Amino acid sequence: MADAFETGLIEALPVLRRYALSMCRKPDIADDLVQTTVERAIAARTRFDPSMRLEPWLFRILRNAWIDSARRSGTRGVEIDITDAPEAAVHDGARATEAALMLRQTQAALAMLPAEQREVIVLVCIEGLSYAEAAEVLEIPRGTVMSRLARGRVALAEKMGIE
Amino acid sequence: MTTNDFSDETLMAYADGALDPAEAARVGAAVAADPALARRLALFSGTRDVLARAAAARPEAPVPDALMARVRATIEAGRAGAETDATVVPLRRPSVPPRPFRPMAIAAGLALALGLAGGVLVGLSLGDGVPGGLRIATLGTRGLAEALSGLPSGARAAVADGEVAIIASFRNADGELCREFELDAAERATVVSVACREAAGWQTRFAVVAGAVDTGYAPASSLETLDSYLAAIGAGAPLAPLDEAAALSAAGE
């Protein structure tokens, strides 16, 4: 019988995978990141506070795993292109609906932002985390989340012509 | 009333519904009375709407069957490990209060582990003869100091009765040159370690057993422990190859 933690882990997989893809853009690497996250989460499950939401906790593990792999590969030349490739999201030209175009424009504008601003925007405005949850994922103060998020959104509004 | 009365952060929190009711009411009244403030607010409500629509427009991305199978196997293995707990070096410390997201709590857990008999973290002084029968290769291993001083990151070299792999070089918050490496010694546990350069030579600062002697099973949590340690000492980014070579050369003089 799966317990609540294991069930939560399985249910979080699609969201985790999407978050991993937002960082590395490569499905095979994203799948490895998710697998590593699951391994670390299971090993560290006694440190999870069940009164908190599971997803932000998993996001933090995943992000640390990504930094870890980037740190290790950093000394062996660039193996991973971490610059966003907005066209990767457009998988089917026939489905270039208004929504897909808008998604593409948004991703293109996001890709032009500094990484630290893009990261908080993804967590709060795309993945729906609270400021406090994003602060926990990124291991920075809530006030820093808010200032980065505000600066990032002002820049995004400018790039997308939002007035 | 001017736009300067409310910061961008406050306007953003208002747009995101993250203010308490009293402050939200104050911002709402100010925005209603001040067109300039309302225009500033529109930047935040506008980006919120655009990003929410972008999130909703993302294509469905089902979890591949292969990944699902791997995850289920991992969960099964975790359950089996929890029952026997025989092959995994115990990194879990149930006595540490569960306080996720607090680096200091993790650091406290590390200090606790150092005090455990037969614990996970070993310093140079432990060497062989650790209680519990674990035999662990350490800096005393012949050839290791030379490898640390001479090899670039990514290189491997034979040492006394095994192999060392240099993972990365970085500087800690005190500016000391440190190297992360893995030591795989025959018939001993694999150790992931960090050593820093002092006047007298390389000193082990951190070591975590990454694989048991007979199974080679490496609990992923050992690297999580390493991450926590690196965060705690303010480890900088890995040195680029040229910087690393210069730092090693300077340290050897």
Instruction: Please report, for chain A, the start and end positions of each structural domain, with discontinuous segments joined by +.
Output: 1-81, 95-163
What band does B231 get if pLDDT is binned at 50, 70 and 90?
Answer: confident
- Section B237-250 average pLDDT: 85
Query: What part of A 24-53 touches B (C-beta under 8 Å)?
Result: 27, 31, 34-36, 38-40, 42-44, 46-49, 52
Using the predicted structure, report yes or no on whether residue B149 has a pLDDT greater than 50: yes
Express each pLDDT in B40-55 by its tens digit. Answer: 999 999 999 999 999 9
Nearest CA in chain A to B74: A39
Judge residue B95's burial from the number of C-beta atoms within 10 Å of its C-beta, 0-12 exposed, 13-18 middle, 19 or more buried: exposed
Query: What part of A 56-95 touches B (C-beta under 8 Å)?
Result: 56-57, 60-61, 64, 67-68, 71-72, 74-76, 89, 91
More confident residue, B110 or A162: A162
Cβ–Cβ contact B67 with A under 8 A: yes
Residues B99 and A49 sit within 8 Å (Cβ to Cβ): yes
What band does B1 get if pLDDT is binned at 50, 70 and 90?
Answer: very low
- Give the minimum alpha-carbon distance from B203 to chain A in angstroms, rounded to a whole number: 22
Listed range (A11-20, B82-91, B143-152, B209-218) with the worst mean pLDDT: B82-91
User: Which 3 state secondary structure label does DSSP give B162?
Assistant: strand
Res B157: pLDDT: 84
* CATH class, range A95-163: mainly alpha
Res A32: pLDDT: 93
Express each pLDDT in A111-163 by its tens digit. Answer: 999 999 999 999 999 999 999 999 999 999 999 999 999 999 999 999 998 87
| Average pLDDT of chain B to the nearest whole number | 73
Predicted ipTM > 0.85: no
Three-state SS annotation for B21-78:
HHHHHHHHHHHHHCHHHHHHHHHHHHHHHHHHHHHHHCCCCCCCHHHHHHHHHHHHHH
Listed range (A35-39, B9-13, B122-126) with the worst mean pLDDT: B122-126
Question: Is 1.10.1740.10 the CATH number for A1-81?
Answer: yes
User: Which 3 state secondary structure label does DSSP give B204?
Assistant: strand
Express each pLDDT in B159-212 by its tens digit. Answer: 877 888 888 888 888 889 999 888 877 666 677 888 888 888 888 888 877 654
Cα(A22)–Cα(B8) distance, rounded to whole angstroms? 27
Interface A:B, Cβ pairs < 8 A: 177
Q: In A, which residues are within 8 Å of B3 by CB distance?
A: none
Cβ–Cβ contact B220 with A under 8 A: yes
Res B226: pLDDT: 78
- Section B131-141 average pLDDT: 53
